Structures are given as C-alpha cells and as structure tokens.
Structure 1
Amino acid sequence: MAAVASSEQQQQHHQEKRIEDELSYPIMVAERVRAAADEADSFKTECSEVWKQVDRLLQMLRSLVRFATSAASSPGGPPLYERPVRRVASEASKNLDRALSLVRKCKRRSILRRVVTIVSAADFRKVLSYLEASIGDMRWLLSILDADGSAAAAGGGGGIVLSLPPIASNDPILSWIIVEEGGVPPLLKLLKESSSPVAQIAAASALCNLANDLERVRVIVSELGVPIVVQVLADSPMKVQIRVAQLVARMAEHDPVAQEDFARENAIRPLVTLLSFDTFVDDSMGQLGRQSIHSIVQINRELGKKTAMMGRSGNRPLTNSFSSFSHSEGSSRGGNHRKDRENEDPAVKLQLKVSCAEALWMLARGSVTNSRKITETKGMLCLAKLVEKEQGELQYNCLMTIMEITAAAESNADLRRAAFKTNSPAAKAVVEQLLRMIKEVDNPSLRIPAIKSIGSLARTFPARETRVIGPLVTQLSHRNTDVAAEAAIALNKFACPDNFLHVEHSKAIIEFNGVPALMRLLRANEITQLHGLILLCYLALHAGNSELLEQARVLTALEGADRAVIAQHPELRELVSRALIHLNLYHAGMNSQRITYLP
C-alpha cells in the first residue's frame, strides 16, 4: 500500500511539475520580449506597444502561477482543473513566440540581414491582435479559477467573465471541455430564465462559441435548445436578440437538423419581423399619404389577424412566444421591449438587422422548406428593400439570402412557381435589385451572387423578358474572370435544353453581341474556357443559322477548341461534336472533315 501511495504521489508530483513547466515557458519568453524591445533600433514605438501588451500578459501568467501553486499546496482544497489552463497557456506561448520573433527583427544587424528581414506595420498589428486575444483568454481563465475575483484583479482581470474566451471560437478542444462537463443545459437555462440581459448575452455568446461544430450543435439540439433559442429571439431586449440571432446562424450553418428544427419552431417569422423593423416606415408613410391614424391602426389589426390565421392553419399552432412577439403591445414585457427598440442606438439596430439577415441566409442555405417560409412572409420584399437602401455587411447578407432562396427555387418547381410569379411584387422587386447590382455595383463579392441569382431564376423569365439577358452578356467581358465565368454559367441556364425557351434566349444572347465576348473567354483560364465553350455550343445548336455566328467564325473556334479542356470533361466531347455537325449545315469551316470526331 505504501508503495502504491508513493507511486501516486510521484505521479502527482510529476503532473504538477508539468503544469509548472507549461507556465514557466511563456513567462521566460515574455521576459525575453522585454530585453528585445529595449534593444530595438527600428519601429521603437511599435516595439514599445508590443511590450506593454506582453507585460499585461506576463502579470496574468504570474497570477496564474501563484494560483496554481496555492491550489497544489492546499491538501483540503479542490485540485486545479488543468485542461483549460494548459490550452490557454499553450496558445499564449505561441503568441509570445510571435512577438519575440518580430521584435528581434527590429535590432540592427548586418546589411544583408536587414535586406532579407523586412518588417511592416501590418506585422505589428497582427501580433498585437494575437496578444490581445491571449489577454482575453487569460482574463477569462483567472476569473473562472477564482470566483471571488481576487486572482483576476491581481492580473488585471477584474471579476468573473460570463462567457468563453476568444480561443474558444477557433479551438474545438476547449469547446469540447465545456460540452463534456455538462455545460450546455445550464447555459440554455440561463438564456431562457435569466432576467438579466447581461447574463442572457453571456449565455448566448458561450453557446455561439460552442456551435461551430456539427456534433456540438447536435448536443444543443438534443437538449431542446432550438425552442428555447426561438422563444428568447422572439421576446427579448434588442442586444440579447443580436447574440441569439448569431447563435441561430451558427447552428444552422453547421447542422441541417438544426435547420429543420428551426423551421418547425417558426424561427423565420421573428427574424423577418426584426429585419423589417423600421424598413418600411418611410415607404408606408409615403403610400398612406394623409390617411388617418384610425386607418393605419386598422391596417395593423388586419395584419395581426392574418398572422394569427397563418399560425392556426399551419401544421402546428404558433407558440405563446410568437403570440407575445406578434402582439407585443399586449404585454408589459413586450411593450417595454418595443419601446426599447424604438429608442435604441441606430448602431445597435443595424447590428440586429445584420445578425438577422445572416441567420436567414444560413437557414435558407440548401433548404427548400426555409426558403419557402421566407417567401411566405414579407421577407422577400424586405430583403429587396435592404439590398437597395443599405451597404456593407447588411446588404451582403441580404443578397446572399436571396441567392440561397433563388437556388432553392431553381431546384424546386413548386417554390419557383409560387414565389417568383411574373406578376408578384416581391419577385419584381428582387429582380430589379439583382439587375441593379449587376449593372451598377462594381464589386465582385456583390455582383457574383446577383449573377448567380438571376441564373437560378432563368426558367421563370418569359421570352419577352430580354432585359435580364443584356446585363449578363455585358459581364462576359468583365475584367474579373470569376465574374465573367459566373455570367457564362448563368447564361447557360437560359440557353440549355432544359429551359423551355432555350431557342428564344439563345437568339437574344446573340443579338446582345454575346458571341465576340464568348470567343474571348475561350482564350482565358480553364474555368472560363469550359463555361464559355458550353454556352457557345448551345448557341450553335439552337441558333446555328445566325449570320453573326458565321461572321465570328464560331465553327473555326470550335474546331480549334482546347483539347485539354475537352479531355478533362468527357461530357463536353459529345456537345462540341454535335455543335460542329449542326454548324456545318450552315457554315463552312477551315477543315470540315474534323467535324465527325474529336480526339
């Protein structure tokens, strides 16, 4: 027994030495940064700023060592929980190594060393951001280890931090520790039952950091987290709603099951309602003109009745949370939140819309069900209005949501016919904004999703709707090859045989002078060559008698098409052969014998 006890003591001692070594290394590196900063000959101000951040981190590390030593020397006290300590210390060591390496480069050495070692202000900004993240990690760790705040205060922490550290956003190990220790149910309970917005935000932030992996999202779902999240989203202060909407986005992004659960819990409706808050005020006032207050109240009542009827006619009734949300004036809590929203800082209102738009984007991605739910609300019209009026992240998120909805409509005929009727005001508004983005906004990150969306709607446009063809043809000549390739892909959806109006659309593409642009695409990179070649074949097959094809020597171009591209895409071999045969009926090529085969 004595031998076993001695072995356990030795093992415990060995483990304690290991945690001490883990903490001693970053302290040693931090001291070296101090010396290197003193010796710096260039970027002295930046090196000084690095040292200030390192010094903050150093004080926290020393506080952590004192806490660890105290815990080890107290036989009756709880043992130190090492897993988060080791992970945070390891990341801090990496960031201190980065700082030391950078500061050392600022010491004057030989001319050759100064030539090959180039330091920029951007390098310092990057290192400072790493150090700031480690300081946040350490502040969190100290606050957790010492609930009364004394250790945190000693290291500059200043009390308990009700969230997860910055490291948790990209470190699956630390997130798993929280999950394995049963942290999800109490976080959900705190989110649902706390009367403190600060505590709710902290709980939502912690869950958001956990929800960056399929399995961890499934844990949240299995603990009945989805209805809790939707309830809090529907009836909470605006700052809480921001973080909860971000949680919806993260969960939907990583787990299709969560997407389905959010659909069942009617999460779309509060998100659209929050997104449209203040969006239609100016338009409504303009349209209502001098109508009386009584008329406006009546309109609002009718909207409320319609919402209630939609809830009763669905597969399941609206939950109490949605009733309180839709008729928030009926409860003191809802009324207070409404007043708070109206008086809230515009920056907070904007952030809420950004978060809600991102949540709708992630819910719609790859989901016909959620896309349909968005189109059944005023969501489409709201998205179009925000794309028109807003800029930056909100505009981008709304545009990406539209892209996902149109992609779902492309794959589902029922959704396409229901949501994108030619006489639908919402559909018209969306198309108008998509075309505006394509024609007027010279930003590939916005132009490309707009092009994709128009392409997804190719089968909804009648033959007379040639105004959507022209802007796409123009983009075939765009200097950005990604934009040009997406334009070719979108036009392929108009000209492909699956499109009932492929002949009319092919003629329109030629009339808008699309052939010369396509001929240029054949000389670009492999992706643009591929999609340009496919479109050129469709035009040849569906409008082969066009004189413009002969004038552009399309037959010759197809005969000389890049064999490497064709070889990598076997399905293209038959398409090119068919196009050559068809064109040969109308035009003479440089070597008509080659039309019978392709090597």
Structure 2
Amino acid sequence: MEEQEKSIQEELSLPILLADRVIKSAQEAESSLADCAELAKQAHKLSHQLRCAARLAAAASSLYDRPLRRIAADVSKNLDRALTLVRKCKHGGGVLRHVFAITTTADHRKVSSLLDSSSADVAWLLSIFDFDSDGGGANLSLPPIASNDPTLAFVWTYIAAVQMNHHHRGRIDAANNLASLARDNDLKKKIIVEEGGVPPLLKLLKERASPESQIVAAGALLSVGNDPRRVKLIAREHAAAVILQVLGDSPIKVQIAVANLVAKMAEMDSDVQEEFGKENVIRPLVMLLCVDIELDDTKLQAGSTSIHSLVQINKELSRSPLLNHTLHTDSNSSSSTTLHKKDKGFESPELKLDLRISCANALWKLSKGCLLNSRKITETKGLLCLAKLIEKEKEELQINCLMAVMELAAVAESNTELRRLAFRPSSPAAKAVLEQLLRVMNESTSPTLLIPAINSIGSLAHTFTMRETRIIGPLVTQLGHRNSNVGTEAAIALGKFVCPDNFNRVENSKAIINSDGIPKLMNLLKANGRDQVHELVLLCYLALNIDKDKGLEHARVLNVLEGAARSVLPRHPELRELFAMAIHHLTLYQAGVHYPYTGSCTVNDIA
C-alpha cells in the first residue's frame, strides 16, 4: 500500500538513481571490462527512457499509471541486480573477497538480458502513451513484462487510450476493444477491473463528448459488470451518480444503453440496487417511461397516496428533454447540444419503444425485493404508467411491465405500509393495475404473461374485500390451464386467499368451490408429475375452511390427502400439522367413523 501511495516521480526516481549508479560502478570496474561497459551502455539507455517517462508523467493532465508503476518496480529490481554484479568487478579488500567477487560471462549475459527486457518494457510504455503519433498510442506489441499474460498488455493499452488519448475516435475504439475483451471470458473482465478500467469508462460516459462514446462506455461497463463483486467495484467509483446525470440529460440511444446498465447492475447485487434508489435513479426512469403516455390526472389526484410527489413529477415531466426536445449541456458542448436537439426531433417510434423496454426492465430489476425502490416507484406515476403500458403494449415491453408489477406486489405483500399506501382498493393506480391483471388472466393464454399476472394477484390477496368478486373465478379457471406451471401458480395464488391469516378465507373458499375449483384442482394433481406441494396445501386449506361440502366428499379429497401425506411429508415435514388438521377435519363430515382430534394430532395418529 505504501508503494501505491508514492507519486509517479518518486516511483521513477529509484530506477533512475540505480541506473546512474550502475554506470558509475561500471566505470570503476577492474575486471570484465567489456561486459561492464555493455551493462553501462544499457543502463544509460534505460536512464534516458526513464527520464522521458518522468517528463511525460509530469506533463500528463490525466495519467494512467498502472503499467508505469509495475514496469518501474520491475526495472528497479533488474538494475539493482546489475549494480550488484558490476560492483563485484571492482577488486580490493584482500584475496578472500576477490575470490567471492569472481563473476562469469554467463552472469553478465543473464543480467544483460534482463536489462534488455526492461528497456523493451519502458519503450513499449512510452509508445502506448504517445497519442500524437499516427498509431495514436495503440501499440499492440507484447512487452516482456506481459509475456506470460498477453491480456495484461492489451488491457493496459486500451485503458491508457480511454483515459489519455487526445483523439476522440481513439478513445471510442479503445472502449470498444475493452468491451470485446470483456466478452471473451471472466478472467479478462477481472483484469480490466483490477487494472483500473472502470474510472476511465465512467469518465467517458459522463463527459458527453458524443452519443457514440457514451454508448460504447456503457456497453463496456455492461460487459464487465456480470458478477456481483465487479458490480460492487463499479459502484464504488460513484457510478450511480454518473448514471443519474446521464439518464436525465442525454440522447435517447444513450439513455437506452444506460438503462440496460442499471438493470444489469441492480440484478447482480442488492446493495448496488439500493444505492441506485438512494441516488434517486428511479425518478428519471419513471419519467422516461411516462413520456407520451396520457394519464388521467384528475382521477389520480383524487386518490393519490402522495400528491406532493405527483406534483413534483408533473413539473419534471414538463421540463423533460424528451418532451420539449431541448438538452441542457455545459458551455463547452454547444455543437453537441445542437446535434442532440436535431436527434430528438426525429426519434422513431421504434427507438422510443426500445427506451421504454429498457426502462421497464430497469424498474423491474430495481424493485425486486427492495422496499426503498418499490416505495419510490409507487410514490410517482410508476404504477399507473405500468398499467397503461400493460394495456396498450405487447411482447417484451408488456412482459417487462408485468414483471415490474409482480415484484412491486411481492414487496407489498411483506410490507403492510406499502400495501396500504400503494395497493389499497380505492387507489386509482391500484384499480388500474388490477384491471389489467384481470384482463391478462381473462384474455391471454401465454404462460409468460399469465404467470406474473397470477403471481401479482396472489401477492395482493390480503388487500381485497368481499365486494371484489372478479378475482376468484379467473384464478380457478387458470387451474385448468394446459401448462402445469400456470396451474401451479394459480394454486399458489388461491392458497393466499384461503390461508389462515386471510380474514375472508371462508368466503373465498366457498367461491373457489362454487367456481368448480375442486374438480380442476384434482385434475391438476393427477396431471402434474412434480412435487404438487402447493396444490395439496390449497386442498388442505379448503378442507379446513369448509365444514361440510358434498364436492369435497365426491372428489374423494380425504383419500387424496391421506395418500399424498405418505409421499410428501417425508420431504416437507413442516406441513405435517397442516395435513393432520385437514384430514381430521374431513373425517368429521365423512360417512362412517369419526376420529377425535386433541389439538396435537399427527398424520400418523389419523392413519
């Protein structure tokens, strides 16, 4: 750590001093004069190269110092070895010392080879920093120091170009090359991050020199950030603050690329996911999703959970670059601003669709399991906008919006306050969402759409009153879906309507039975070759909630539960008490013998 804290001038001063000492000691040598003279010549060349590197470092406004530090340390080690060798060639101190100071031609050749390698390393370093040459610093030769790891040389070259190149095209090409390397394998991604590739890429993204450079930078970060540890390292470089700025004030293609980056990073790490929420990245994403979508503000304000938040979002939407086609940039980017304005005026519907797809995907990943982000989304027009897009759009955008609603509902299921504020039945946003979830269940046959819709309704089971009679029937219908995954999801959702902590469990159980839910559930149990736990749990709840029903008896529910207990309970012992209570309850209303229940009954007792 101490070595890393030294300035570049301090790092270079040691090898320069060692080179001068080698030259002086070689001049004082009394044996192996020719070999010492050769080492002095090599040391002189290295001294000149190192001084050039020191001048370059002093003049650079933004220096990429990783390769310089590594090479300086390696050069110092080799020069120190050369100094030890040439000092042995100066006799004195008696015969014994003379015997131990004998050097061989092989020693000189080995040290000479090391100095040649050091000289080649420094020459390569100077070449990748030479951005005024025709090559623009893109030296793809392999320095000796990276002979065992060629990737290191390429990474150093490209990062140096991204950070230091004066030519805009050179920086873009270098960022593209980093992205290409990152796509190869995880080891190269790891090297890019460890060698300091993230800060230059974030700087390129933030500078807004051109949309292309920002898109390339975001793409490179996206390629690198497919691992939780690397995503954390990206976040430590204040990526969330940069992303917030770029989302709010960039051309639409850049916003798409950055929204994709947000989605990937949020998916990889929960801490980074929450950091985005703290930086308020949610707000521009919702704003971009709501652009050009008409929402009923009168109804919204009548039942809004956070009128202040909605007033604020209205103000910000009115100033949005996507609405008024203006872009605020710094005074040094006037030509870029003009170009962005022109681009904004000719945005295609396809491009706007891509932006919505990316923003909806980002909101989906940001809300997953995160109370902070879910609260921020529901405090804006996010829910209404998602409902509107589920209604109007198809395919990927509709799926992303459904997945976002599903995650929001899942968080609300475990948080009473969020459920009360965002999904209360009188809320216009909640009503709009429910309408679309029911529409999907009634009209769609696609499991990709049905599963998140059913899951969402199940998560909100505790919010519905008895006056809401439109839900149970469609859920029961989905028990008979040809795709068993949809049927299982419907069973899970219905289980939440009839579980012990649902106040309306008895009425909901009657509604399921009246909708012919028992035959469908029994068919699902017969057709489904998997664990069937959720279907059996639903059957247990129905048995407990209904005192006597001919449908349960005719469907031989008691026999099914008794048979399932033997195969399911060894794998799920936590369900033993539930099965025991359901079987006991059913026997009370079966024709024949009744079994007493003491309150601590087990399946084994009943069997």
The answer to whether 1:567 aligns with 2:549 is no
Q: Describe the shift of the 1:580–1:445 C-alpha distance in structure 2 as closer, same or farther (beyond 3 A).
A: same
Residue type of the partner of 2:223? N
Matched residue of 1:240: which SS? helix
Structure 2 vs 1, CA of residues 228 and 411 (structure 1 numbering), >3 Å: closer, same or farther? same
Give unmatched runs, 5+ long, in structure 2: 1-84, 86-104, 118-138, 302-306, 330-336, 597-601
Residues 367 and 12 of structure 1, relative CA distance in 2, 3 Å threshold: farther
Preserved contact between residue 163 and residue 205 of structure 1 (Cα < 8 Å): no
**Aligned amino acid, residue 228 of structure 1:** V
Shift in CA distance, 196/579, structure 1 to aligned 2, threshold 3 Å: same
Aligned to 1:344: 347
1:117-162 Cα shifts (integer Å, max 9, x gaps): xxxxxxxxxxxxxxxxxxxx9xx99x99xx999xx99xxxx96563
User: Map of 1:63-82 to 2, 5 A cutoff?
Assistant: none
In structure 2, the residue matched to 1:361 is 364
CA shift, 1:3, in A, is 4.5
Aligned to 1:515: 518
Matched residue, 1:206: 220
Residue 216 of structure 1 is matched in structure 2 by 230
Q: How many residues are treated as equivalent by the alignment?
A: 463
Q: Secondary structure of 1:467's match? A: coil
Aligned equivalent of 1:271: 285
Alpha carbons of structure 1 residues 560 and 181: separation in structure 2 relative to 1, 3 Å: closer
Give per-residue Cα distances to partners, 1:499-522, cap 9 Å, x unaligned.
111111111111111111222233
Superposition pairs for residues 122-271 of structure 1, below 5 Å? Answer: 162=176, 164-166=178-180, 168-169=182-183, 171-271=185-285
User: What residue in structure 1 maps to residue 509 of structure 2?
Assistant: 506
TM (normalized to structure 1)?
Answer: 0.68
TM-score by length of 2: 0.67
327-336 vs 391-400, which deviates more? 327-336
**Residue deviations 1:383-432, cap 9 Å, x none?**
11111111121111111101100000101000001111111111111111
Say which one has the larger Rg: 2
Give the 3-state SS of the residue equivalent to 1:447 in structure 2.
Answer: helix
In structure 2, what is the Cα distance between the partners aligned to 1:309 and 1:534?
Answer: 46
Give the 3-state SS of the residue equivalent to 1:244 in structure 2.
Answer: helix
* Alpha carbons of structure 1 residues 552 and 340: separation in structure 2 relative to 1, 3 Å: same
Query: Which AA in structure 1 matches 2:276?
Result: F
Q: Deviations along 1:333-372, whole A, 9 cap, x unmatched?
A: 3797577435212221111111111110111011011111
For residues 283-302 of structure 1, the C-alpha deviation after alignment (integer angstroms, 9 at most, x for no partner) is 679x99xxxxxxxxxx9xxx
Measure how far apart 1:220 and its partner are: 1.8
Distance apart, 1:590 and its partner CA: 9.2
Structure 1 match to 2:605 = 597
Cα distance change, pair 423–308 in 1 and its aligned pair in 2 (3 A): closer
Superposed, 1:257-336 pairs within 5 Å as 257-280=271-294, 310=312, 325=320, 333=328
Answer whether contact 2:461 2:496 (CA < 8 A) is retained. Answer: yes
Secondary structure (helix, strand or coil) at the match of 1:266 reads coil
Which residue matches 1:550?
553
Q: What CA distance in whole angstroms lies between the structure 2 residues aligned with 1:362 and 1:508?
A: 35
Question: Which residue matches 1:110?
Answer: none
Aligned residue type for 1:389: K
SS in 2 for 1:497: coil
CA contact (8 A) 1:380 1:427 kept: yes
Task: Check the 8 A contact 1:537/1:576 in 2, yes or no.
Answer: yes
**Are the structure 2 counterparts of residues 194 and 590 from structure 1 closer, same or farther at C-alpha, using a change threshold of 3 Å?**
same
2:420 maps to which residue? Answer: 417
1:471 and 2:445 are equivalent in the alignment: no
Indicate conservation of the 8 Å contact 1:406/1:457, yes or no.
yes
Q: Structure 2 vs 1, CA of residues 498 and 71 (structure 1 numbering), >3 Å: closer, same or farther?
A: closer
Picking from 442, 450, 453, the partner of 1:450 is 453
Give the 3 Å change call, closer, same or farther, for CA 461–354 of structure 1 in structure 2.
same
Counterpart in the other structure of 1:24: none
Structure 1 residues 4, 513: closer, same or farther in 2, change over 3 A? farther
- In structure 2, what is the Cα distance between the partners aligned to 1:483 and 1:217? 34
1:387 maps onto 2:382 in alignment: no
User: Separation in 2 of the partners of 1:385 and 1:203?
Assistant: 33
Q: Secondary structure at the match of 1:464?
A: coil
> What residue is the counterpart of 1:402 in the other structure?
405
Instruction: Please list the CA deviations of residues 168-220 of structure 1 after superposition, one character each: whole Å capped at 9, or x if unmatched.
Output: 24622111211111121121122112321111111111111222111211112
1:465 aligns to what SS in structure 2?
A: coil
Query: Partner amino acid for 1:479?
Result: R
Distance 1:176 1:323, change over 3 A: farther
Matching of residue 486 in structure 1 with residue 489 in structure 2: yes
Mean CA deviation greater in 570-579 or 587-596:
587-596
Task: Give the 3-state SS of the residue equivalent to 2:526 in structure 1.
Answer: coil
Structure 1 residues 589 and 341: CA distance shift in structure 2, 3 A:
farther
SS in 2 for 1:366: coil
Unaligned runs of 5+ in 1: 15-66, 73-77, 89-136, 289-298, 300-304, 312-317
**Which moves more between the two structures, 263-272 or 79-88?**
79-88
